[in-house]
């Protein structure tokens, strides 16, 4: 690899110290490197990084920040299909595996093509009202549907490939990818799944039954969640969130259709730490 694009979380790399060091190192090694210094503000057609700012000859995108920054970058650049390397400026992450102490060895491996690329499964979600699409977005981690307003449970009617599955009376539902299985889904009691897998995990949030458990579906299944009525036939109001970033308000009768996305996220693996080792350190 010779041409690089760096995305920096300005809140994590104050004064862009690490960013400037990376740009200088690439320059010393004859590698062109453009920079996007994210402000955390979204723009037209993107959440964090403007895809049009990425040069056409870019071989690799380096993301400085943490797992959250890498999630945002992956969603913004999904159509670019470029490999991404995450450099973690905080705690150990599942996605951003390189820390500040390992930056230069990691850059050397990129320059000399000493790395592997993992294709991460993504989902796309469509919010539908009266047969019209209100919003559509992709997620690398999860699509979450939660109730709004005062403390109460909502009714979520679940369908798989057009057939009714069940109903959850709960605070919400998480539809997670394997990458997102170690996030909100895990906190809600969902299973840990290897990030190399391809599947969709449905996990209820605080369900009002003792026997509600997560359900794992094959990658090609299409999951639909319909918002049921509120108490006494009232209109229920909920929110759909994509990777904890973009969101959409929904109400009784609306459907959220979740299916496999038409693309994957390509994550560069350099560190000697594999998923099992990172998981063991996290669980300690």
Number of structural domains found in the chain: 2
Same domain, yes or no, for 128 and 253? Answer: yes
Share of residues in the chain with pLDDT > 90 (%): 70
CATH number at residue 204: 2.60.200.30
Q: Mark whether 192 and 138 lie in a shared domain.
A: yes
Task: Looking at the structure, tell me whether residues 113 and 152 fall in a common domain.
Answer: no
- Give dist(CA 75, CA 216) in Å, integer: 23
Reported pTM: 0.89
Q: Are strands 223-227 and 237-242 parallel, antiparallel or unpaired?
A: unpaired
The tens digit of pLDDT for each residue in 83-121 reads 999 999 877 667 888 888 889 999 999 999 999 999 999
Q: Residue 83 sits in a domain of what CATH number?
A: 3.40.50.10330
**Whole-angstrom distance, CA of residue 156 vs CA of residue 161:** 16
pLDDT digits (tens, 9 = 90+) for 5-57: 999 998 889 889 999 999 999 999 999 999 987 655 566 667 778 899 999 99
Which residues are designated catalytic? 67
Q: pLDDT digits over 236-279, tens only?
A: 999 999 998 889 999 999 999 999 999 999 999 886 666 777 77
Question: By C-alpha distance, which of 144, 229, 231 is closest to 185?
Answer: 144
Structural domain boundaries, residue 238:
123-260
């Amino acid at each position: 690899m010779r041409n690089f694009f760096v995305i920096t979380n300005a809140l994590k790399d104050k004064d862009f110290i690490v960013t400037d060091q990376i740009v200088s190192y690439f320059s010393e090694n004859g590698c062109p490197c453009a920079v996007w210094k994210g402000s955390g503000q979204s723009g037209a057609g993107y959440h964090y990084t403007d895809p049009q700012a990425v040069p056409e000859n870019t071989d690799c995108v380096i993301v400085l920040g943490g797992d959250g920054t890498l999630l945002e970058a992956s969603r913004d650049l999904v159509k670019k299909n470029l490999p991404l390397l995450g450099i973690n400026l905080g705690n150990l992450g599942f996605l951003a595996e390189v820390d500040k102490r390992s930056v230069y060895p990691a850059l050397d491996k990129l320059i000399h093509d000493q790395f592997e690329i993992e294709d991460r499964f993504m989902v796309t979600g469509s919010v539908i009202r009266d047969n019209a699409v209100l919003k559509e977005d992709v997620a690398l981690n999860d699509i979450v549907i939660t109730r709004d307003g005062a403390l109460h449970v909502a009714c979520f009617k679940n369908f798989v490939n057009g057939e009714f599955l069940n109903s959850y009376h709960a605070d919400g539902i998480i539809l997670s990818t394997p990458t997102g299985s170690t996030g909100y889904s895990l906190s809600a009691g969902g299973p840990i799944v290897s990030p190399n897998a391809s599947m969709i995990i449905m996990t209820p949030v605080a369900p009002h039954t003792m026997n509600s458990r997560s359900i794992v579906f094959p990658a090609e299944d299409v999951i639909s969640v319909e918002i049921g009525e509120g108490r006494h036939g009232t209109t229920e109001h909920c929110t759909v969130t994509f990777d904890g970033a973009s969101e959409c308000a929904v109400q009784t009768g609306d459907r959220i259709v979740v299916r496999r996305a038409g693309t994957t996220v390509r994550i560069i693996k350099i560190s000697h730490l594999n998923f099992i080792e990172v998981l063991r350190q996290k669980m300690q």
